[in-house]
Structure 1
Amino acid sequence: MPTTKLTRRNVSGLLPAAKPVTFFDTDLRGFGLRIMPSGARSWILEYRPGAGGRGVAKKRVKIGGEEMTPEAARDAAADILAGIRKGADPAAERRTERAAETIDEIAAAYMARHIETKRKASTAGYYRILLNTHISPALGSKRAVLVTRADVERWHSKLATRPDGKGGKTTANRALTLLSAMFNWAGTAGLIPDGTNPCSKIEKFAEQAKERFLTQEELARLGAALQEAETVGLPHAPSESKHAPKGKNRTIFSPHVTGAIRLLMLSGCRLREVLHLRWSEYDAQRGVLFLPDSKTGKKTVVLSAAAQEVLSALPRVGTYVIASNDPDRPRHDLKKPWAALSKHAGLEDVRLHDLRHTFASVGAAAGMSLPVIGGLLGHADAGTTLRYAHLQTDPVRAAADVIAGRISEAMNGKRTEPGGTVR
């Protein structure tokens, strides 16, 4: 093999030949410049792994392309040789990296072997949305072992500020949590080296909790809108009136629609728990619901007298309490009727889930304990109920009144005895 001192001046004079040729450096053993017949150049290093010796076959690793200067390539080669002397085998490591699974391949295995067998279908569906919309387009084709913390941080930040409105801080945090769980699972499953999670130590964005509670006046407006909707009907919007049948400018709502919304307000249940409720899960004698598969697992809901009245008034049509067009299938959602009702009641900033928040807030404001409220809502984690702690104002206000009252009396020259008597 030809040898020369690989300096800028010498390298510029080396020309391609009919076959690939490698010029090795005279100073650093194994370091060379490979020139292809096309003229393409690359810096390489040949070495014998392990203890070395002529009995060990040589290996070759590419350092970089012709954009590297001879000095930079030489320094990189020296660093690689230092690692080889400590037992590294860069060629084997790169083969492993090339053969390693991509993020998409790990995601497919994670979903099939872990999520779909151990999580609810709704959870798996949400994860697929995060994967298909946010993770796969940005990182899916990358080899998992080559993804760095910097890669994940850049992706996380871009997703939080995505201009098309499909991202946001909350979405970015949920996607990061999923990606981190995938890496942890892949390490445990042996798909990547265990403990190599580039998502670790990446700080999530602060999220603003959405807390919207209906006031007494707003509840009254919603109640009036529900009564109007199921009796005379709600008036059509101007754009809808043009297409409405002649003489019919109002839409009367099904009792199952209005009943569903009343149940959400009066029970504190989640939307899916109400829409998927079967008549067989309602014990009218004891006034409870036995939900076999809520978000937090098997759950018993104690119903108020008002909620039981709603259930008693509902026509029994098919399997589900809230009937759909198919008596054997649950209603999919309440988006359209809720949009019309909330608009008519002047509550366009209120989500259906806020009815559950309102149920809890009324209990907290009435002085009920957080464990009791958490039990009514079916919270698996007591910390989840803490969001309503600041609404427990009555006991706090009573204490404030006592303390401030005594201070005021003392300032006015009155003396309070230990038993509370003022003199």
Structure 2
Amino acid sequence: MKISKRNVDNLRSNGERYFVWDDDLSGFGVQVGINGSKTFICRYRNRGTRRQIKLGRYGALTPEEARLAAKKVLGSVALGTDPALDREADRRALRLCELVDVYLKLHGPKLKPRTFKDYRRSMDRHVLPRLGKLLAEDITTRDISKIHVGMAESPYQANRVLSCLSSLFNWGIINGYLSEGSNPARRVKRFREKGRQRYLSSEEITHLGQALIKAETTGIPWTISADSETAKHVPKSNQVFVYPKHVTNAIRLLLLTGCRLREILDLKWKEVDLERGLLFLSDSKTGQKTVILNRSAIAILDDMERAGTYVIPGNDPDHPRHDLKKPWDQIRAVARIEDVRLHDLRHTHASIGAAAGFGLPIVGRLLGHTSAATTQRYAHIADDPARRASDAIGAILQSALLAEEGPRSPKGFSKI
């Protein structure tokens, strides 16, 4: 048949592996696996020996891209080389550090810049120092498990590193750099991650507001450890740090909008529409996103100075601030909420909306959730019929418990 997108889409598994060959280009075909996977292949003869080379999975390659790759393979054969043998030699010689470089070079442009940076950092810090010089094909599940277990004190980070490795090996298999079934990260069991839900109480929100005002006006005291070997100064009694208002306002906006940290730090003034009360985020975790601003958030943005491209500028006004770690650590200490993360401000925003009875679909829309299941974490807070029923039953029982001693009529319970 003619190998085209429509025809390849129509191929289905029949319970066993089979091949479909192209009408126009001899040797170019599609291998359909038992599970329905589709892999482009090129088959040829070299010195009387039939050889077959995998070009890549359908999806990673389009039929047109695979056809061009097949023509290159057949052209190489015509010139006297054997691509299958060359690829096997390259595969045997490919070290993990080289596979990482190829992966980030070819697959990196498809990743978001922050994801790319996280992948690169995970490999450089935790994987390549121990396994970088080993041949990629020789790395075992045991090697990966040692790295994973060695990060047991940081289970979340350990699981992220494992996910990066699994993605790396899967990509290597799909694109022909590794043999089938050679993903050693696949069988490593991940650490159990406990879901964390921390919401600020009304009193804690008040303390946070007071700490923010202090940080931008009189300043927050700071000290230097005189006993530290790296201490260069002796602490003075009048040491305080006053934070710029755009830093404290960034924290306020995280709470008032429910946005993620990078959504606020990467926010550009051209994405702010105060007249309609909207933020038009060109890129977020879930892609393009529109954020509805409440009046408090609008007032903060309207009062802020537009010093450059970004709402929360860094040292260079045309580049965003890198993070809020240092100011947040000091501000939350003053507010006596040291266990609260910046992301918990987003949870607090959502929990207040759920408790106010706006409904989970509305809360999910405000947060930009693409899946209703993501918003279900706030279901126990929502003012739903079950909660109202529980409150009604509790009121009747509490009334009975506080009633004076003496003959009682069971009528109060008959209403339940």
TM norm structure 2: 0.68
| Residue 147 to residue 336, structure 1, CA distance change in 2 (3 Å) | closer
Q: Is the 8 A contact 1:259 1:310 kept in 2?
A: yes
CA offset digits 1:162-193 (Å, max 9, x no partner): xxxxxx22222111111111111111101112
| Residue 295 to residue 402, structure 1, CA distance change in 2 (3 Å) | same
Equivalent residues in 2 for 1:307-326 (5 A)? 307-326=297-316
1:259 to 249, 257, 261: 249
Residue 214, structure 1, aligned to residue 200, structure 2: yes
Residue 288, structure 1, aligned to residue 278, structure 2: yes
Q: 1:155 and 1:337 mapped to 2: Cα distance?
A: 33
Equivalent residue pairs, number:
317
Q: 1:98 and 1:281 mapped to 2: Cα distance?
A: 47
Q: Is the 8 A contact 2:91 2:137 kept in 1?
A: no
Aligned partner letter, 1:257: V
Secondary structure, counterpart of 1:326 in structure 2: coil
Q: Is the 8 A contact 1:159 1:169 kept in 2?
A: yes
Residue 159, structure 1, aligned to residue 151, structure 2: yes
| Residue 318 to residue 96, structure 1, CA distance change in 2 (3 Å) | closer
Q: 2:90 and 2:306 mapped to 1: Cα distance?
A: 61
Equivalent residues in 2 for 1:118-157 (5 A)? 118-157=110-149
Equivalent residues in 2 for 1:268-279 (5 A)? 268-279=258-269
Aligned partner letter, 1:129: R
CA offset digits 1:323-374 (Å, max 9, x no partner): 3332222222222222221111112222222211211121222233222222
Q: 1:207 and 1:224 mapped to 2: Cα distance?
A: 34
Aligned to 2:174: 188
| Residue 393 to residue 412, structure 1, CA distance change in 2 (3 Å) | farther
Q: 1:360 and 1:152 mapped to 2: Cα distance?
A: 38
1:106 to 79, 99, 109: 99
Secondary structure, counterpart of 1:391 in structure 2: coil
Secondary structure, counterpart of 1:109 in structure 2: helix
Equivalent residues in 2 for 1:221-260 (5 A)? 221-237=207-223, 249-260=239-250
Q: 2:358 and 2:390 mapped to 1: Cα distance?
A: 18
CA offset digits 1:222-272 (Å, max 9, x no partner): 11112223333334447699666x9x6543332211211111110011122
Q: Is the 8 A contact 2:91 2:177 kept in 1?
A: no
CA offset digits 1:10-68 (Å, max 9, x no partner): xxxxxxxxxxxxxxxxxxxxxxxxxxxxxxxxxxxxxxxxxxxxxxxxxxxxxxxxxxx
| Residue 197 to residue 239, structure 1, CA distance change in 2 (3 Å) | closer
Percent of matched pairs sharing the same residue? 45
Q: 1:236 and 1:169 mapped to 2: Cα distance?
A: 32
Q: 1:169 and 1:331 mapped to 2: Cα distance?
A: 28
Structure 2's unaligned 5+ residue stretches are: 1-84, 227-232, 401-407
Shift of 1:202: 3.0
Aligned partner letter, 1:227: I
Q: 1:304 and 1:180 mapped to 2: Cα distance?
A: 42
1:376 to 362, 366, 369: 366
Q: Is the 8 A contact 1:275 1:332 kept in 2?
A: yes
Q: 2:392 and 2:295 mapped to 1: Cα distance?
A: 36
TM norm structure 1: 0.67
Shift of 1:306: 0.7
| Residue 399 to residue 159, structure 1, CA distance change in 2 (3 Å) | same
Shift of 1:159: 3.1
Q: 2:314 and 2:193 mapped to 1: Cα distance?
A: 36
Root-mean-square deviation (CA, aligned residues, Å) is: 3.1
Q: 2:394 and 2:196 mapped to 1: Cα distance?
A: 34
Larger Rg: 1
Secondary structure, counterpart of 2:328 in structure 1: helix
1:205 to 161, 168, 191: 191
1:336 to 293, 310, 326: 326
Q: 1:336 and 1:398 mapped to 2: Cα distance?
A: 42
Secondary structure, counterpart of 1:293 in structure 2: coil
Residue 173, structure 1, aligned to residue 159, structure 2: yes
Secondary structure, counterpart of 1:186 in structure 2: helix
Shift of 1:120: 1.2
Aligned partner letter, 1:363: G
Aligned to 1:301: 291
Q: 2:398 and 2:298 mapped to 1: Cα distance?
A: 49
Q: 2:241 and 2:96 mapped to 1: Cα distance?
A: 50
Secondary structure, counterpart of 2:298 in structure 1: helix
CA offset digits 1:184-219 (Å, max 9, x no partner): 111110111233322224321101233321111110
Structure 1's unaligned 5+ residue stretches are: 1-91, 162-167
Shift of 1:394: 6.0
Secondary structure, counterpart of 2:288 in structure 1: strand
Q: 1:180 and 1:118 mapped to 2: Cα distance?
A: 17
Shift of 1:416: 8.5
Q: 2:123 and 2:225 mapped to 1: Cα distance?
A: 38
